[in-house]
Amino acid sequence: MPTKQKKIGILTAGGDCPGLNAAIRGFGKAAIRQHGMELIGFNDGVRGLAENRHVPLDGRALSGILTVGGTILGTSRDKVDRMIVDGETRDMVPTIVQNYEKLGLDALVTLGGGGTARNAYKLSKAGLNVLHLPKTIDNDIVGTDDSFGFSTALEIATDAIDRLHSTAHSHHRIILAEIMGHRAGWLALGSGIAGGADIILLPEVPYHVDVIVKAVEQRRKEGLNFSVIAVAEGARNQTDSMAMSGAQALVNEASSPETKAAAKKAKRDLERSMRDNTLKLATQLEDATGLESRVTILGYVQRGGTPCAQDRLLATRLGTKGAELVDAGQFGIMVTAKGTETGTIPLKEVAGKVKYVPSDHPWVKAARAVGTSLGDA
């Protein structure tokens, strides 16, 4: 009897980033050419999976997408167990399981960050064969050294800091570049070091405004009447950081669904009140130093455009390894990058966790060694 052709579904979820299409291509071409699989792609993340919207992915569909930014499949940030459908929050896991079985899928491959890993784990617990590939510009996924999307975003942010130096120098200004990264400082730290930022502010290192002022004033004493500051979007001063920690503690200590929901809302409201922290900091520094201060928010330009060579290579490595693992019947895992090698980690060890910048990380030590201030006492 001939062996049944395996049918695999693939989707991209969470924020878009460079390298998603390269990973789709890497997995897809290896799955089709090396392992004789049939591949379909779900539109718009897990919502497309829940609504059974999909397209065939053959060699022709996968051709020419290596260098294309974003994702040909579309994406969304839906949660499989709390999806808004017709204005109501519904658990769509049973529906997804039905669609998976109706389509005769042998496995589902998800491409995304921490939130997508959480969705993948929930679907895995529901009995589906799921494999996850790590994607995020934030580089905050535990268990892997790198995630595709990060290197390109790092190049974009570094280029922006490079360009801001000339304006800061010419006008004798303080220029703050707000850099993405959510709750982790990898992108701000890496681009800050590579771009020669004078001060780098991270979510993991609560800052003191007076320390930043002293760093700026010290540069002025040395005849440098300008400063470039790389600010992670999640960076907080000491007071705000303590407030956020307190809000999170209330969420953790909540004893009922009602109190937990109220605590989560209070935390979200607090986070929203801090969205303009970089602008507030610029005003504080201008008042304290007398130097004009300007803010550049890089925002979504860090997510867009053609993936760099490093991200294309990483996405292809992880994608082809994923096809190999699916063929071998290994599921409930995420493919990881460990140096030049690839490995795996159980989804239960990834879901709901964040890889933060350690205080003793070599990048932190290198920044301090060259005289870069992190704004801490």
Q: Name the residues annotated as catalytic.
A: 138
Phi, psi (degrees; rounded to nearest 5) at 56: -70, 145
Distance CA 209, CA 199 (A): 12
Amino acid in the structure at residue 308: C
For the chain, how many residues are written?
377
Residue 166 three-state SS? helix
Distance CA 112, CA 316 (A): 15
Amino acid in the structure at residue 124: S
Phi, psi (degrees; rounded to nearest 5) at 295: -120, 135
Any idea what DSSP says for residue 226?
Answer: -
Contact 202, 359 (CB under 8 A): no
Which of 139, 148, 159 lies closest to 363 in space, CA to CA?
139
Say which residues have a Cβ less than 8 Å from residue 290's Cβ, sequence separation at least 6: none
What the block records as the tokens of 214 is 């002293």
Amino acid in the structure at residue 45: G
The alpha carbon of 237 is separated from its chain's Cα centroid by a whole number of angstroms, namely 23
Distance CA 26, CA 11 (A): 14
What the block records as the tokens of 308 is 């760099």
Which of 106, 8, 95 lies closest to 52 in space, CA to CA?
95
Which of 39, 118, 42 lies closest to 74 in space, CA to CA?
42
Distance CA 275, CA 180 (A): 12
What the block records as the tokens of 50 is 């829940």
Which of 207, 201, 206 lies closest to 177 in space, CA to CA?
201
